[in-house]
Structure 1
Amino acid sequence: MRRDHGGADPDEAGPEHPFAPFVRTLGRGPGRSRALTREEAREALGMILSGAAEPVQVGAFLMLLRYRGEDPEELTGLVEAARAAVGAGPVPGGVALDWPSYGSGRTRGEPWFLLAALALARAGHRVLMHGSNAFTSGTPVPQALPLLGLRAAGSRAEALAQVEAGNFAYLPLRAMSPGLDGLLQLRAQLGLRSPVNTVARLINPADAPAGVDGVFHPPYITAHLAVAERMARPRLLVVKGGGGEAERGPAKPVAAHLMTPAGVEVLTLPALSDTRAPTAGLVEVWTGRARDGHAEATVRGTIALGLLAMGAAGPAEADERAAAIWRGRLG
C-alpha cells in the first residue's frame, strides 16, 4: 500500500533535468565516470551562466570537477563558454598583454605586480588586467588602484577606453560577468576553490597576443599551457608566483614556462636580490619617495616577465630592459 507523504509521490519521478547528465557523467563512480568533452563542458557552463541549472547542481558540478582534476579538453570547453559570456574577442587598437589577477594567497602583501603592469604601460605597452582578489589576505588590486590615482573599470567598454587613453585598465570579473564572479565567490560556501579560478585566468577578454599568468601550485602550469595551445593563443608565460599572482620573487631563481608557436620553453630566471621582505608601501615605492630593495627587485623582475611574454626582450636582456623601464616610469 502506498503511503501518503503529503507531497509528490516518490514513485512518480518527473522528467530528468537537462543538466543532470553532466553531473552524472562526472560522478557516476570509479571506472564509469569521465571528464567532459570540450563540447560538453562548453554546453554545461553555458547552461549554468544562463541560469538553466539548479543551485544544487552547480555546487555538485564544481566540486566534481575539482575532485576529478583539471582536464585540458574539459577546461578548454569551460574557457570557451566563459569567453562567450564576457563577449571576448579582438578590440580596436588591440591589447598587447593580457594580465589575469586572481590570487588569493594567505601570505600576500602589496600587489607589486600592479606596479610592474603600470610601468609597462608607461613604456608604451597596452596592458589589460582583469581579476578578482576577494579571498586574498593582502591588498586587493581594486583597493590599491585609488592610491595610485586610478580606478577599476565598470565595464569591458570602459576598460578598453582606459587602455586607449593610458595603456592600462583593470577590469573586475564582476564587471565582465556577474555570473562567473558568482561562481568564483562560491568558494566561501564550498570551502574550496573550483576550476572556475583557472577558467577566469584564461579568458583573455581582448584577445591579446600575449599573456602573463601566475599559479599557486606548479601542477596547474601544464593545464594552463595546454588550454592556451588548444585555443591557438600565440604566447603565454606562466610562473608559480606569490599568492598565485604573476609576480617574480627576487630572492631565488624562477622557472618561467613560455609558450610560443615554436613550443614550450622553460626559462630559468636568476635571483635578483638577497634582501628581506619589503617594508615600504606601494605608493612610496611607485613615486620614488621610498627606496626598498626587495620591493623594487620584485617589480623589476615582474616587468621582465611581461617583456618575455610579449617577446619584447629575450632572457639575456629582459632584466636590464626591465630596470630601464622601471627607472623611466616617472618620465
Structure 2
Amino acid sequence: MFAKLLKEVGRGKRGARDLSYEEARMAAEMIVDDKVTPAQLGAFFVAERIKMESVEELQAFVEVLREHAYRVPVQEGIDCTGPYDGRKKSFYATFATAFVTAAAGLPVTLHGTAPMPPKWGITLQELLQEAGVAAAEMSRESAAHAAKETGVLYASSEQWCPPLAKLRPVRLELDMRTIINTAEKLVDYSHSPYLLFGVFHNTVFERMAKLSQNLSYRKALIVQGVEGSEDLFIERPTRTYDVSGGEATLYVINPDAYGLETAVPEIAWTPKEQLNATEAVLQGKGHLAFVNQVLLNAAVRLQLAEKVESVEEGLYICKALMDEGAPFERYRTWISLMQKQGAQTV
C-alpha cells in the first residue's frame, strides 16, 4: 500500500499530486509503525520535498505524531516553535524571553533536540547542556515538575515523541529538510491554546495559517523571524501573520515604532556565548540589542496570548519586571530544578 502512495507523490514535479488527508494519515501511520523500508522512507521524504507538502498532509503527520507523543496539560500558555536545526548567526532570544513572559503570568513551552539538518546550527538543547542541564536524559515528569514551579516547560522532543528518535538516522543520512521538520514543531506537548510559529520564507504564510486553524489553536502568530525562527528582528521590521477568529492578517512589527530598533553586533556564537548572552540580558547587563529584542518579543507574545491589550502595555510590564529582576530569579529557579531533576534521573 505504501508503494502506491509513494507513486502518487513521486511522479515528478508536474505529475505528482497531493495526498488526501486519509492517504497522508495512512502514510504517516505506516512510517511511525516501521511498516516501510528505509528506501521507501527516503524516497517519500524526497518526493514530498520536491512536491511541497499540502496542508492536509502536514495535518495528518502532526496528528499521528501527537498520538504517539507524551502530551500533558501541565500549563495553559504559549507554544514557541522555532526550527530544530538551530541557529548559526543570531541570539537565541526566545529562551530569555520565556522567563520574562512566565514572570508576567504567561506559561511557555519550548522544545527541541540535538542538532539536525539542513542547518546544523546551535540548538536550545546544546544551550541547556552548557548550563548543566541534561535535557535529553531528563524524565518527562521531572521537566513537567520544573514547569509547574516556574511556568517554563522544555520538552526534549525525541524523548517526548519516540517516533522522532526512530526517524533521526534517515533524516541525518538525507541531510535535507523533510515533512518532519514542520510536523515535529507542532506536536504541542502541553496542549497550548496559543501558537508562535517561525518560518523562513513568506511563501508558506498562508499554508501555515490554515494549518494552525485546522489544529484548533485559539490564536497563532506565524513569524518570518530571525533565521526562520519565532524571534522578531530588532534591527528591522518583521513580517508576521496574525491568525484568530478564522482569519489571517498580515501584521508587520516594526521595532522603530516602539523606539527599540537597534543594530545587532556580530558574534561568533557558541553554546557558551548563547548562555552568557541570555544570563546577561536577564540580569539587565546584556547588549542593548538583545535586551530590546527580548522586551519586544515578550510584549508581542503577551498580546498574542491576550494578557495585555497592546504591545506598549506589554513593554511597560516587561520592562518593570526586568528592572525588578523577576525573570532572572525565575530563570535561576528553573535551572536549579532542571539540574537537580536531571541529576536524579541520570
How far did residue 31 of structure 1 move?
A: 5.8
Match of residue 230 from structure 1: 214
After superposition, what is the alpha-carbon deviation per residue over 1:231-281, rounded to whole angstroms, capped at 9, x for unaligned?
A: 222111111111222111101112221211252222221222232326683
Among 24, 34, 48, the alignment partner of 1:65 is 48
**164-173 vs 286-295, greater mean Cα deviation:** 286-295
> What runs of 5+ residues in structure 2 fail to find an aligned partner?
268-272, 330-346
**221-230 vs 265-274, greater mean Cα deviation:** 265-274
Whole-angstrom CA distance in 1 between matches of 2:101 and 2:266:
21
TM-score by length of 1: 0.84
Match of residue 6 from structure 1: none
Query: Does the Cα contact within 8 Å between 2:85 and 2:122 map onto a contact in 1?
Result: no
Match of residue 317 from structure 2: 321
Aligned AA (1:273): E
Match of residue 142 from structure 1: 125
**Is 1:303 aligned to residue 298 of structure 2?**
yes
SS state at 1:60 partner: helix
How far did residue 209 of structure 1 move?
A: 0.5
Match of residue 77 from structure 2: 96
CA, structure 1 residues 258+155, in 2 after alignment: closer, same or farther (shift >3 Å)? Answer: farther
How far did residue 112 of structure 1 move?
A: 2.0
CA, structure 1 residues 261+158, in 2 after alignment: closer, same or farther (shift >3 Å)? Answer: farther
How far did residue 189 of structure 1 move?
A: 1.8
- Aligned-residue Cα RMSD (Å) equals 2.6
**56-65 vs 299-308, greater mean Cα deviation:** 299-308
How far did residue 216 of structure 1 move?
A: 1.7
Among 28, 31, 34, the alignment partner of 1:51 is 34
How far did residue 316 of structure 1 move?
A: 4.6
**Is 1:114 aligned to residue 79 of structure 2?**
no
User: Which one scores higher on RCO, CA 8 angstroms, separation ≥ 6?
Assistant: 2
After superposition, what is the alpha-carbon deviation per residue over 1:119-173, rounded to whole angstroms, capped at 9, x for unaligned?
A: 2123332211112351456542122225557552734433322211221121111
SS state at 2:301 partner: helix
CA, structure 1 residues 265+311, in 2 after alignment: closer, same or farther (shift >3 Å)? Answer: farther
TM-score by length of 2: 0.81
The equivalences for 1:51-200 within 5 A come to 51-88=34-71, 91=73, 93-104=74-85, 107-132=88-113, 134-135=115-116, 138-147=121-130, 152=135, 154-183=138-167, 186-200=170-184
Query: Does the Cα contact within 8 Å between 1:23 and 1:57 map onto a contact in 2?
Result: yes
Whole-angstrom CA distance in 2 between matches of 1:283 and 1:316:
23
How far did residue 81 of structure 1 move?
A: 0.8
Count of residue correspondences: 312
CA, structure 1 residues 170+265, in 2 after alignment: closer, same or farther (shift >3 Å)? Answer: same
User: Sequence identity, in percent?
Assistant: 23
**25-34 vs 109-118, greater mean Cα deviation:** 25-34
SS state at 1:223 partner: helix
CA, structure 1 residues 151+97, in 2 after alignment: closer, same or farther (shift >3 Å)? Answer: farther
Between Structure 1 and Structure 2, the one with more helix by share is 2
Match of residue 277 from structure 2: 282
The equivalences for 1:209-224 within 5 A come to 209-224=193-208
Match of residue 333 from structure 2: none
Whole-angstrom CA distance in 2 between matches of 1:57 and 1:82:
19
